[in-house]
């Protein structure tokens, strides 16, 4: 028997042209549909629960990582964490989202001091042609000549952008900060989220 032989058409509330069809299926498939929908709801609940568990585990593991780095001088990017019957691996990445606005960078510098700031961050300059220059053939010729003679100042030709970025090893260096400054530092400079495996 064709399971779609008893199709009931319903008008969709969104548009009069689209229709929704309902198929008549076997009892076995109906049971599978019920299990599928139930599992989806349970999975959504488990995902939500796991996000909470993961957050609490990562917070505790981060504190252990900090204590190991500060107290013993040992820094580990990954730490095995044992539960009662199972274990997970806490893994960090040496990647940070450094704010680029001057106000926040000034806050970071004030928080950790200029010397530490200079040890934690570096600046990379990016130069791009201003839009009005790229369409001006005479100016492009001048740029070519300027490259040979170095006769024009860079700011007259290019938009100059300085980007601040975290130096390699900041995941370890951050623990050199006084513990009371670390939470605010981590609020201002976001490290790529640690993961559990």
Within 68-151, residue ranges assigned H as helices are: 102-112, 114-120, 131-134, 137-149
Per-residue pLDDT at 174? 92
More confident: 118 or 194? 118
**Are 96 and 172 spatial neighbours (Cβ–Cβ below 8 Å)?**
no
Q: Is the pTM of this model over 0.85?
A: no
- For 26-63, the pLDDT digits (tens) are 999 889 988 988 998 899 999 999 999 999 999 999 99
More confident: 187 or 158? 187
Per-residue pLDDT at 143? 78
What 17-21 contacts at long range (C-beta under 8 Å, 24+ apart), as own/partner pairs, is none
pLDDT above 70 coverage of the chain, percent: 86
Q: How far apart are CA 7 and CA 162, in angstroms?
A: 64
- For 64-106, the pLDDT digits (tens) are 898 888 888 888 888 899 999 999 999 998 899 999 999 999 9
- Beta strand 78-82 with 8-11 is unpaired
Q: How confident is the model at residue 5 (pLDDT cuts 50, 70, 90)?
A: very low
């Amino acid at each position: 028997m064709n399971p779609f032989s008893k199709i009931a058409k319903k008008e969709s509330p969104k548009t009069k042209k689209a229709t929704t069809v309902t198929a008549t299926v076997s009892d076995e498939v109906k049971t599978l549909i019920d299990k599928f929908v139930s599992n989806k709801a349970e999975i959504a609940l488990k995902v939500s629960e796991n996000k909470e568990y993961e957050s609490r585990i990562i917070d505790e593991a981060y504190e252990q990582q900090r204590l190991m780095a500060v107290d013993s001088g040992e820094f580990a990017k990954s730490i095995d964490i044992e539960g009662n019957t199972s274990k997970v691996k806490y893994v960090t990445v040496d990647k940070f989202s450094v704010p680029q606005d001057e106000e926040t960078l000034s806050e970071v510098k004030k928080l950790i001091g200029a010397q530490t700031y200079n040890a934690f961050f570096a600046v990379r300059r990016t130069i791009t042609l201003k839009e009005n220059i790229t369409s001006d053939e005479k100016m492009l010729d001048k740029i070519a000549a300027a490259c040979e003679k170095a006769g024009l100042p860079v700011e007259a030709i290019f938009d100059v952008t300085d980007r601040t970025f975290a130096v390699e090893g900041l995941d370890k260096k951050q623990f050199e900060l006084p513990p009371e400054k670390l939470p605010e530092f981590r609020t201002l400079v976001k490290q790529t989220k640690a993961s559990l495996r």
